[in-house]
Amino acid sequence: MYNDKVMDHFMNPHNVGEIENADGVGTYGSPVCGDMMQISITVEDDKITDAKFKTFGCGSAIASSSVATDMIIGMTIDEALELTNKQIINELGGLPAVKVHCSVLADHAIKSAIYDYAQKTGKHYKGLEGFDPNADEDDHHDLPEEA
């Protein structure tokens, strides 16, 4: 059901854990929907120098977390805010249609972590406009099946 790359990120996920004294921490999802992701980041000069995740979720949620944290390490905050679930899926070489929402989780968790960082530092980012980390958490389950 999953391709080799997804399986590899799922079986041997990168960046598992929590950064101590992280500059930003965000969680998204809820165990009630069967998926909850926490991402912590270290930021230096507006650049993400480290990212770690912890995820309660299915294979695709874990693989998305792994690949998404890989992707944002080295990105500027603005670049990271632009990251879409589509890019995450592409990086993974595709996900089954019913599992697309699991990657949405990752880009939301990243945004939440950056939001936390912005709150703590008082910075403003264009990519965060209109973003509410506490918005309806099971939104991602209502996506159309084909994406």
Question: Which residues are known catalytic residues?
Answer: 33, 102
Rule CB under 6 A: say whether 96 interacts with ligand FES.
no
Q: At closest approach, how far in Å is the CB of 61 from another protein?
A: 8
Using CB under 6 A, pick the residue from 102, 109, 118, 128 that binds ligand FES.
Answer: 102
DSSP state of 11: H
CB 38 within 8 A of CB 18: yes
In 3-state terms, what secondary structure has residue 52? strand
- Which of 61, 73, 81, 88 is close enough to bind ligand FES by CB under 6 A? 61
Q: Residue 62's binding partner, choosing from another protein, ligand FES, none, with beta-carbon cut-off 5 to 8 A by kind? A: another protein
Q: What span, in angstroms and rounded, lies between the C-alpha atoms of 147 and 110?
A: 21
Contact 6, 117 (CB under 8 A): no
Amino acid 52 reads: K
Region of 29-37, 43-51, 81-89, 121-129 interacting with another protein (CB under 8 A): 29-37
Q: How far is the CB of 78 from another protein (least distance, A)?
A: 26
Q: Is the four-CA dihedral 82, 84, 89, 92 of positive or negative sign?
A: positive
Binding site for ligand FES (CB under 6 A): 34-35, 57-58, 60-61, 99, 101-102
